[in-house]
């Protein structure tokens, strides 16, 4: 039988070998800056949360699949010489939001509670109403898609 290292040892080695600081989610989750992340949140491996220079808030009871990028920064204008600075915008993800694998949440996004972002969806600087389903690129919002199916199905807290 081969002894396996524990998660703490794996995290320590991974942090030494990469720029990924230790986090409470998974050794292969990269968190930059100081995002506000609520309770009972799952973030899958090989996902990124970049909050450097902007406010990124993820509410309670969210499920963020693997290979998801939540990134407040956009450097394309700086790269091509149209700006001297990287543009950074806040991101708000409210409670009970599911974000599917390989999705991208960009700066300026606001996702309402009890919403689902389908796998592979790209969310730009838009507001997604609560109880919505969002699919694709460009993102197509289906507002109220989950309104009647969610226990309580109303906007009161």
- pLDDT tens-digit series, residues 126-138: 999 999 999 999 9
> Under CATH, domain 23-133 is a member of which superfamily?
Hexapeptide repeat proteins (2.160.10.10)
What pTM value is reported for the model? Answer: 0.90
**Angle at alpha carbon of residue 95, lines to 93 and 96, rounded to 5°:** 110
- pLDDT tens-digit series, residues 101-135: 999 999 999 999 999 999 999 999 999 999 999 99
- pLDDT tens-digit series, residues 22-69: 889 988 899 999 999 999 999 999 999 999 999 999 999 999 999 999
* For residue 157, pLDDT beyond 50: no
| Alpha-carbon gap, residue 99 to 116, rounded angstroms | 6
Residue 82 is predicted with a pLDDT of 97
- pLDDT tens-digit series, residues 132-156: 999 999 999 999 999 998 776 655 4
By the 8 A CB rule, do 104 and 69 touch?
yes
Domain ranges of the chain: 23-133
């Amino acid at each position: 039988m081969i002894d396996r290292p524990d998660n703490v040892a794996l995290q320590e080695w991974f942090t030494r070998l990469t720029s990924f600081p230790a986090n409470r989610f998974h050794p292969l989750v990269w968190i930059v800056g100081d995002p506000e992340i609520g309770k009972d949140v799952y973030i899958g491996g090989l996902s990124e949360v970049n909050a450097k220079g902007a406010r990124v808030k993820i509410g309670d009871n969210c499920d963020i699949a693997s290979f998801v990028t939540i990134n407040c920064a956009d450097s394309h204008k700086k790269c091509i010489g149209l700006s001297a600075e990287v543009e950074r915008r806040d991101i708000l993800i409210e409670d009970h939001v599911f974000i599917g694998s390989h999705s991208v949440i960009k700066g300026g996004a606001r996702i309402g509670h009890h919403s689902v972002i389908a796998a592979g969806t790209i969310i730009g600087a838009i507001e997604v109403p609560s109880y919505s389903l969002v699919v694709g690129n460009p993102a197509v919002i289906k507002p109220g898609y989950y309104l009647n199916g969610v226990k309580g199905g109303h906007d009161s807290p």
